[in-house]
Structure 1
Amino acid sequence: MTIRTARIAHFAGVAALALGLPGPTYAATPHPWMARATVAKQAAARADAAKEAIARSRARQLVAAMTLAQKLQQLTGSEPSVLPELPECFGARHVTGIAALAIPTFRITNGPVGVGQNDCVSRDVEKARAVPGAPFFLPYSHPSSAHATALPSGMAVAASFDPRVAADFGGVIATEMNNLALHVFEAPGMNLARLPILGRNFEYFGEDPYLAGTMAVAETKAVQSAGIIAMAKHFVANEQETNRMTIRETVDDQVLRELYLLPFEMSVKDGKVAAIMCSYNYLNGLQACANKAMLTGVLRDDWNFSGYVQTDFFALKNTVPSLEAGTDHEMPTPLYWSPDKISAALGQHSLAIGQIDTALERRYTQMFKAGIFDRKLVQTPIDFVAGGKAARAIGTRAAVLLQNNGALPLSPTARSIALVGKASQPYAQQAIAGGSILGKAMGAGGGSSDVVPDYTVAPIDGIRTALRELGRGEAVVKLVLIDDANASATIDGVSVPFAKALETIGASDSVVVMAGTNAEEGADRATFADKDGHQLAANAAAGLSLDWYVAKPSAIATTDPAGNTAKSSQTGAMLQAILAARSTTGVAMPAKTVLVLKDNASVAMDPALLGSHGPAILETWFPGQEDGNIVADLLFGRVDPVGRLPVTFPVAGKGFLDTIAADQFPGVRDPGGSFQAVQYSEKLAIGYRWYDANPLGKCAPVGGVNPCVAFAFGHGLSYTRFATSAPKLATDAATGRYRVSLSVRNTGQRSGSEVVQAYVSLPESADRLGVKQPPKRLVGFGRVTVAPGATQSVTITIDPAASHHPLGVWNSAEHRWVIASGRYTVWVGTSASPASLVEAGQFVR
């Protein structure tokens, strides 16, 4: 059984569980919901609906047998405690089981980039927590949490533009969750990169809802095929971390449907996701976990969602409204749904016992369906070698080559390499994940994506190992770290003036500069005048600069020296100094310099770095534990960079954030001063749609190139070259689908992959149905790998009935999707840039 597929046929009873998972122990007279025949019938059911129907019947039998006290105990997470089945584990992410009813302890893990915060920390934490004044969250994010593979970020997965990569990603996680006897994976995250500085962008899948939904569906299927419950999050419009617990957001209904709800709709309809996590924010006047219009109206009534809804941790704000709205499970502890509060509501007849039964039945149905009742809670060793191999493969398939002036792949004759970074930054010194802090081990942060890996590979180690494996062990790699003032540096730990460091860099055969934009849950990349994040102290776009950083990525950045002060690393000035330095190797500095980016999401690009006078630029996102090996594989050309941008990279000073109003971010204080109010007033114009729409009249294309865009959504180069044929558009009269076809020829000297993208422009009549439509929307893509000199065909199908509504407009007045009448134009290209796109054809509806 491979990590790639991670397929677990979780049969119970007569057959042994696959992958060696321990099967159940049956009593002499089992409960009817645990009867051998019933378990076997569920395991044998082929259709998803049939399997779920049996699971629901078992759930109803169980709920009918429970006392009120048992129901209330099961309605919420448990207080931090030792797990009965795993006495070596002190956990804070579970619902303690009820052995008398054969209910196992139900275990939940965080970590959208690997298994993190996984309900099993050292028993020493139990003792430490008992000490007066001990940190409350100690058992939730302690670094003694079980080790797992720290994968590349979700943004990296999206950059692959390949659902197979998302499936591999989910397969690693599911395999290791089964190793650790975990049941619920609180992911995939699919909020959109409305704000390029959103602190959790790296956990998500970019700025386009179709791309995000496609990746989420593939990951969900891989996870759930392994008997794990996937939990799509954060539902919904949770696009900023600043004041996330109290933020009041107003979003047009049509905008919600066409952008922010769309990936969730795809996950429900195509991925059959078992659970949804409601978020912290308020949406259109209602708190997310008490928003009946969303949790019941949209999820259940419109999409026929049959799973359950869990709160984000501590997201619940009330008792009765949340249960009535459609929330089913409070985490992590009984607060608003504590037995006393629920009992009081039942006694006052503001709640009915049937509502409690429904909430439990929804969750138990998914637990039965996943086989959680039908396997023992036993941990087995993780194969860290296999996990690392998979992480390395995912990371290399996610990297995006933004520009190349000949410096990549690194010259095979290079005998001296300068690895350059900032002394105050971790990028050139450590393996990078979300929230990486200089000098601290991965997993020492506090966000949901903290994973404690078994090992990490630093950049210099990866480069040196690659050189040895390539038979170039005599090559010298020097680590050059430069201070924030660009006044002094160290070369392999020896202090020198900056001018001396430039001499060493200029004398090197190859120069690799590493920089990036660190981020983590809890804060956005913005500087505020106050520690509460109420008023920006600088342009919101400042957070997209490579210069901007803070000591704690998870805390709000301020101008207050006593707080988490925002600082400047002067990375941009350092890069310009390096490019202007005197090269003594006979090769111009831009032609031998590579800028390796490790980013949360997009970066505002200095024009000085763009074009022939700039370096080669390779985006690797947050590579995770295999950082050094991933980057080395790409630098030396052992693999081809095949990723494409899931976000737009603006030219510095010309992006969406340079024009954003306070009511768009971070929000405007209400008259009482108790919360921030945010308007999504840009409506459908986010990401590439904003740049296409040119709302300020400054981004009109010149010669097919948008002057506000440094690197377009979907952009990515290769170490080889491709030529594409003229696309053809055909209509399948029998199905009503449209097909775009073309061929891709590899005109270079090595194998490589190309990603063909299809966009649709809606007719003008679509604007009359509500919100003005952007000039185009992504509706499909296809990846092909082509050998040198070979040609491969690509066909992209546009199905008007698909769950992502490629031609649809949400009609709020009629509460339904409609297809506007008029002429539709289909564009095909290798990015969203107008210069890349060719008209494939038109059709009339």
Structure 2
Amino acid sequence: MARHSRRRRLGFLALAAALPFSLVTTGAAGAGTAATAPAVGAQAAAPAHPWMDTSLSPEQRAALLLDAMTLDQKLQQLTGAMPEILPELPQCYGGRHVTGIAELGIPTLRITNGPVGVGQNDCIDPAVATDPTKPWYAAYTDPSSAKATALPSGPTVAASFDPAVAGQFGDVIATEMNNLALHVFEAPGLNLARLPVLGRNFEYFGEDPYLTGTMGVAEIRAVQDQDLIAMAKHYVANEQETNRMTIQTTVDERTLHELYLLPFEMAVKDGDVASIMCAYNYVNGVSSCENEYLLTEVLRDQWGFEGYVQSDFFATKSTVATLLAGMDHMMPIPQQWAPELLTAALDAGEIQESDIDRALYRRYVQMFTYGIFDRPLVQTPIDYVAGGERAREIGTQGAVLLQNNGALPIDPTVEEIVVIGKASQVYAQQAVAGGVMVGQPMGAGGGSSDVVPTYTVAPVEGIQDVLANLGSTADVRLVLVDDANTSATVDGVEVSFEAALAEAADADAVVVMAGTIAEEGADRTTFTDPTGQQRVEVGDNLDWYVDRPNTTATVAGTNMARNSNTVAMITAVMGASPTMAGKTALVLKDNAGVELEPALVGEQGPAILEVWFPGQEDGHIVADLLLGVANPSGKSPFTYPYAGKGFIDRASELQFPGVLVEGAQTVEYTERLNIGYRWYDANVSGDCAHAADGSNPCVAFPFGHGLSYTDFEISGLLATPKRTDGSKTIRVLATVENTGDVAGAEVVQVYLGVPAAGEPPKRLVAFEKVWLEPGQKKRVKLEIDPDASNHPLSVWDAAADTWTTPLGEYQVYVGSSSQDAHGLTQAITVRDPKRR
């Protein structure tokens, strides 16, 4: 359908504001008018209701609809419905929708979770409705959910450093949403990896706000291009799962705007996102869903947001404050917006009917804009084969080759490949997604973002498939080791750990699989008890795990933190023979970046391939990369610290998980602008000063790092702050050359050092992924627009409540990672435009 321009919408909203939100009656039919089908052969029959006239603008249609509605109908439409069998889809029992009003032509608005595919999607087995063994929340989390493609995780998309990949990701989701007759996608997730142990990092795009915003915008556009509503979440400063429903987040205004709000600002200004989800947490003393500063002053007044705001599920705390502050839609059930509560507030004069009209108007405009009123609620078959193929492609694009000592790619003519993992862990046994547990199907992890696929590809199965396609007859053997590193099984036969090591020593190639499973509901941290108040240790390592990753881990009880001794196992494998470094690959399947022991990094360590959570196509994605069918081209959206030297090791209780202040768990972002690579660059701990070659003693692998099966060279930096055409845009030129012997891709990254007190040494401001044949070179042009939505040259002035551009010398860094960028630099000067 045709899009309506932002200018056209603003014009109508200005008219509406002048009325002051009273709606003009233009002959709308009454609420009880029945829809009548046009006679066969009739020409240009009038629609049953004036608001169903598609020649009108979405704003006009929304106004006409509201004018025809009774107060009771409006109150029903403000919130999600109690779980029920869907009137239009009797095969679906769901709790993620707003029940339609047939006599008004209002369709049931259907919502699905994300952000890693079409997750819990308002369609579970109707038998669940009467099953006494199912919990009350089964309608929102049951694994009988309608099936979809379980895509690779968010960090995979971010690691591609390619907006086109984010677009492909969004296109798969949108296609399957339309197959399932869904309307609203609760994604992308735009929160930042402030904490490497955040349980939902796998749903997000890493530690940098510009990268996060860029990928989010591309995904939003792809989803909304298929006439669906995207919903950026969780707005805002929602960077921990521990006590997530009640946590009080304190963050200074400058940090809030420059880091945590920035991806959302990009989503609004560049992605024209139709909806925003307010979060569980409090921000600076006010609940996110009744925070007038965030929902009205920032979102609408500063950014010009024209969509609607929905609450996270069960996030709301009040009746009146949420409505007046700028929230428009409560999910998943009426709760504080139950009709009797809103009616009481109306009777007391605390709210006006125009407040209710405003909230509904904002949502109806988006529903009309994206044709939701104008298409039938009909489900069609999903092409699972096509979805799987695209998932496989996305997974290979976002894998990161962190280190390679000659073990990769594996020559398919080898005779034996040994795959090694822990018996208590999923990594070498099953396809990996968020919350996946040993012996349980994908989608049973307990998180609302879990996707239930029609099939999964296990690691050994995938390697065997790809080998067969390459004409190889290599034998693939699976070795599973116990947590104590005393015994193992080889293809199911029990042996000693020493015998397993001998198996590895004799093999032609060894693949060790490990990682860090996480899920919505809990961070990778151990606490004294389920309150999550007293931290014992953090799980930013390959050894830590729990039985249920969606539940707070404790030192005792039903979900105790455990030690898999994975690092010791890997170290033992590497010592099995003098040739192990040249034939061993460590495949990581991580929620985020993870701390690494020095023994694993460098010439003595294995090749290290990070594939994040690959989803249903896990085995094929990993095999394509290991065997050279695909050339790794990803760059890490996280920093990998050395063990004991990361931000989380130095974080105070106030920084995480928070301390009790007047009875409320309160966390303060005292690191301010220094998160991720910025924390290491700024040497906040005092132990992370850069060496002369740009390396950092705290960092095993920096943000933006990633190798290839070929080699690249970046040279010839030229930054031109002044343009002959009068443009303010800074043009950065660099040459990238493939100096190796196979085709591959390099990502040219531009960082900027801003001359302002309190700013970290540099920030990512531009990047481009370049595909080159052997010997090919390309002159890459990247542009930095000072007026762009990511404010590349600016800082937030809290006193003036605006962005300002510091004058002086800016340092331009160009390279293939945040650390490598120290080698190619140029200074540019920003002067007062009033002076010559």
TM normalised by structure 1 equals: 0.92
Matched, 1:186 2:204: no
How far, CA to CA, are the matches of 2:599 and 2:821 in structure 1? 22
Give the AA of the match of 2:580. M
How far, CA to CA, are the matches of 1:95 and 1:696 in structure 2? 50
Q: Decide which of 572, 593, 613 is 1:622's aligned counterpart.
A: 613
Alignment correspondent of 2:30? none
Give the AA of the match of 2:254. Q
Structure 2: segments with no counterpart, 5+ residues: 5-34, 39-44, 832-836
Give the % identical residues: 60
Counterpart of 2:500 in 1: which secondary structure? helix
| Superposition deviation, residue 717 in structure 1 | 0.3
Question: CA 1:29 to 1:814, structure 2 compared with 1: closer, same or farther past 3 Å?
Answer: same
Alignment of 1:382-421 (within 5 A): 382-421=382-421
Alignment of 1:31-46 (within 5 A): 31-35=48-52, 38-39=53-54, 41=55
- Is the 2:119–2:448 Cα contact (8 Å) retained in structure 1? yes
Alignment correspondent of 1:51? none
Alignment of 1:179-258 (within 5 A): 179-258=179-258
CA deviation digits over 1:357-403, x for unaligned, max 9? 00000000000001000000000000001000000000000000000
Matched, 1:719 2:736: no
Q: Decide which of 773, 794, 807 is 1:808's aligned counterpart.
A: 794
How far, CA to CA, are the matches of 1:201 and 1:162 in structure 2? 19
- Is the 2:114–2:188 Cα contact (8 Å) retained in structure 1? no
Matched, 1:551 2:547: yes
Alignment of 1:527-676 (within 5 A): 527-538=526-537, 540=538, 543-560=539-556, 562-582=557-577, 588-672=579-663, 675-676=664-665
How far, CA to CA, are the matches of 2:742 and 2:127 in structure 1? 55
- Is the 1:745–1:789 Cα contact (8 Å) retained in structure 2? yes
Counterpart of 2:138 in 1: which secondary structure? coil
- Is the 2:412–2:470 Cα contact (8 Å) retained in structure 1? no
Alignment correspondent of 1:30? 47
Alignment of 1:328-339 (within 5 A): 328-339=328-339
How far, CA to CA, are the matches of 1:122 and 1:725 in structure 2? 58
How far, CA to CA, are the matches of 1:779 and 1:368 in structure 2? 36
Alignment correspondent of 1:506? 505
How far, CA to CA, are the matches of 2:705 and 2:647 in structure 1? 19
- Is the 1:531–1:563 Cα contact (8 Å) retained in structure 2? no
- Is the 1:111–1:187 Cα contact (8 Å) retained in structure 2? yes
CA deviation digits over 1:667-720, x for unaligned, max 9? 001243xx2111100000000000000012110012321000000000000000
Give the AA of the match of 1:825. Q
Alignment of 1:692-771 (within 5 A): 692-703=681-692, 704-730=694-720, 731-733=722-724, 734-763=726-755, 766-767=756-757
Alignment correspondent of 2:113? 110
- Is the 2:51–2:62 Cα contact (8 Å) retained in structure 1? no
Question: CA 1:305 to 1:835, structure 2 compared with 1: closer, same or farther past 3 Å?
Answer: closer
CA deviation digits over 1:424-478, x for unaligned, max 9? 0000000000001010000112112210101100000000011111111x21111
| Superposition deviation, residue 244 in structure 1 | 0.3
Give the AA of the match of 1:690. W
Question: CA 1:442 to 1:819, structure 2 compared with 1: closer, same or farther past 3 Å?
Answer: same
- Is the 1:753–1:784 Cα contact (8 Å) retained in structure 2? yes
Give the AA of the match of 2:251. V
Alignment correspondent of 2:495? 496
How far, CA to CA, are the matches of 1:71 and 1:9 in structure 2? 28
CA deviation digits over 1:72-110, x for unaligned, max 9? 000000011111111111111001100111000000000
Alignment of 1:120-131 (within 5 A): 120-128=123-131, 131=132
CA deviation digits over 1:236-262, x for unaligned, max 9? 000000000000011000100000000
Greater CA drift, 448-457 or 286-295: 448-457
How far, CA to CA, are the matches of 1:598 and 1:220 in structure 2? 26
Question: CA 1:834 to 1:395, structure 2 compared with 1: closer, same or farther past 3 Å?
Answer: closer
Alignment correspondent of 1:792? 778
How far, CA to CA, are the matches of 1:33 and 1:382 in structure 2? 34
| Superposition deviation, residue 136 in structure 1 | 1.1
| Superposition deviation, residue 563 in structure 1 | 2.6
Counterpart of 1:658 in 2: which secondary structure? helix
Counterpart of 2:116 in 1: which secondary structure? coil
- Is the 1:31–1:101 Cα contact (8 Å) retained in structure 2? no
- Is the 1:728–1:841 Cα contact (8 Å) retained in structure 2? no
Question: CA 1:10 to 1:813, structure 2 compared with 1: closer, same or farther past 3 Å?
Answer: closer
TM normalised by structure 2 equals: 0.93
| Superposition deviation, residue 494 in structure 1 | 0.3
RMSD of the TM alignment (CA)? 1.4
- Is the 1:422–1:481 Cα contact (8 Å) retained in structure 2? yes
| Superposition deviation, residue 411 in structure 1 | 2.4
| Superposition deviation, residue 134 in structure 1 | 4.3
How far, CA to CA, are the matches of 2:50 and 2:581 in structure 1? 68
Q: Decide which of 97, 101, 104 is 2:104's aligned counterpart.
A: 101
Alignment correspondent of 1:838? 824
CA deviation digits over 1:131-173, x for unaligned, max 9? 3x74111111111111100000011100100000000000000
- Is the 1:701–1:834 Cα contact (8 Å) retained in structure 2? no
Alignment of 1:147-166 (within 5 A): 147-166=147-166
Alignment of 1:161-180 (within 5 A): 161-180=161-180
Matched, 1:283 2:283: yes
Counterpart of 2:137 in 1: which secondary structure? coil
| Superposition deviation, residue 187 in structure 1 | 0.1
Structure 1: segments with no counterpart, 5+ residues: 1-7, 12-23, 43-53
Give the AA of the match of 1:509. D
- Is the 2:517–2:549 Cα contact (8 Å) retained in structure 1? yes
Give the AA of the match of 2:569. M
Give the AA of the match of 1:724. I
Give the AA of the match of 1:309. V
| Superposition deviation, residue 34 in structure 1 | 4.0
How far, CA to CA, are the matches of 1:420 and 1:537 in structure 2? 30
Q: Decide which of 815, 818, 840 is 2:804's aligned counterpart.
A: 818
Counterpart of 2:478 in 1: which secondary structure? strand
How far, CA to CA, are the matches of 1:157 and 1:138 in structure 2? 30
Question: CA 1:592 to 1:735, structure 2 compared with 1: closer, same or farther past 3 Å?
Answer: same
- Is the 2:128–2:134 Cα contact (8 Å) retained in structure 1? no
- Is the 1:10–1:226 Cα contact (8 Å) retained in structure 2? no
Alignment correspondent of 2:79? 76
Give the AA of the match of 2:582. A
